């Protein structure tokens, strides 16, 4: 969403001697692929991992609904020939749920091997994200008056697709057009395909920022969330019905040892070289290889 901070290193890893799968970056709200932080982030990961990186633009991150952004992203990943043998995804905040939607929804897309999510609102957010400008603030105030689950708001405001009011679950289930489907929440229709696709990941890396004030609650990064009816009690991922009943395959992945729950210091999307090298880069490499160290 915001506060993307990238620290440049004096040294980088240039390339590997063996083939590495490419990766795709999905940015968060308020950003674009051409935003300096996102561009640097993509390039640095590519340099350090030896893997080709692509940042995919999905339209205005505020005003194109996440359902439409997912459709755009789906077509783009299918049209990048370099991804045909499989690829990895790195999602930044809102981009994490778009990346997950590609895994679950995108028919005919290449296989996703590893998925790294940084500050992703996977089980929703309990309030609107911060305003990045007066124009956005005015819009948010207008939307609050209209109602977040109204047809107009759902079709014209991206974050509305993953706002989950824990005190208005019935309205959320009826009106929210994105997150209930993504999390297989509908009682009378659990899509086994979504679960199968998500559970096929080799590795799922969930990074939560300790001082995150953008995601409410921050535990949504780990699939935790408010207990229904409460804005105070936060359930750990393993306490949620989504996990217990394995709606999307999260429990299956976890029990197979393929989920990493990582807590790092800092605010929302504050990324240091240590975080990137330790928790992201290893999942962008297909196998252990020799690396050449170059100075710049």
288: Cβ contacts below 8 Å, ≥ 6 apart: none
Residue 137: per-residue pLDDT: 65
Please give the domain boundaries of the chain with CATH numbers for all domains.
Answer: 11-124+189-295 (3.40.50.1820)
What's the rounded Cα separation, in Å, for the pair 102 and 107? 9
212 classed as catalytic: yes
- Exactly one of 46, 117, 212, 246 is catalytic; name it: 212
Contact of 98 with 61, CB cutoff 8 Å:
no
* Distance linking the first and last C-alpha atoms of the chain: 30
219: Cα within 13 Å, side-chain hemisphere: 14
**Cα–Cα nearest to 90, from 153, 129, 154, 44:** 44
- Exactly one of 46, 93, 96, 117 is catalytic; name it: 93
**Cα–Cα nearest to 158, from 72, 55, 237, 235:** 72
- Exactly one of 27, 31, 122, 268 is catalytic; name it: 268
Residue 8: per-residue pLDDT: 39
Intervals of the chain under pLDDT 50 = 2, 5-17, 287-296
Residue 7: per-residue pLDDT: 45
Percent of the chain with pLDDT over 90: 76
265 classed as catalytic: no
Residue 216: per-residue pLDDT: 94
27 classed as catalytic: no
């Amino acid at each position: 969403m915001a506060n993307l901070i990238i620290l440049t290193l004096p040294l980088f890893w240039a390339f590997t001697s063996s083939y590495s799968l490419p990766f795709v970056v999905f940015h968060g709200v308020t950003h674009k692929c051409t935003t300096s932080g996102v561009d640097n982030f993509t390039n640095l990961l590519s340099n350090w991992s030896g893997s080709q990186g692509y940042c995919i633009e999905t339209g205005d991150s505020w005003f194109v609904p996440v359902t439409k952004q997912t459709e755009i992203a789906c077509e783009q990943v299918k049209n990048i020939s370099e991804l045909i043998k499989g690829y990895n995804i790195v999602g930044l905040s809102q981009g994490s749920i778009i990346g997950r939607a590609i895994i679950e929804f995108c028919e005919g897309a290449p296989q996703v091997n590893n998925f790294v999510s940084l500050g992703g609102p996977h089980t929703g957010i309990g309030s609107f994200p911060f305003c990045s400008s007066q124009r956005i603030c005015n819009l948010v105030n207008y939307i609050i008056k209209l109602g977040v689950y109204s047809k107009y708001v759902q079709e014209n405001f991206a974050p509305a697709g993953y706002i989950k009011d824990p005190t208005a679950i019935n309205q959320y289930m009826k009106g929210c057009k994105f997150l209930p489907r993504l999390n297989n929440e509908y009682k009378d229709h659990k899509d086994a395909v979504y679960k199968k696709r998500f559970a096929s990941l080799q590795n799922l890396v969930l990074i939560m920022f300790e001082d995150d004030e953008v995601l409410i609650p921050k535990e949504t990064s780990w699939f935790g969330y408010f207990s229904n009816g409460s804005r105070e009690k936060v359930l750990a991922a393993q306490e949620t019905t989504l996990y217990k009943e394995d709606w999307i395959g999260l429990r299956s992945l976890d029990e197979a040892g393929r989920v990493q729950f990582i807590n790092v210091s800092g605010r929302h999307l504050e990324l240091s070289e240590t975080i990137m090298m330790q928790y992201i880069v290893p999942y962008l490499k297909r196998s252990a290889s020799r690396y050449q160290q170059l100075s710049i």
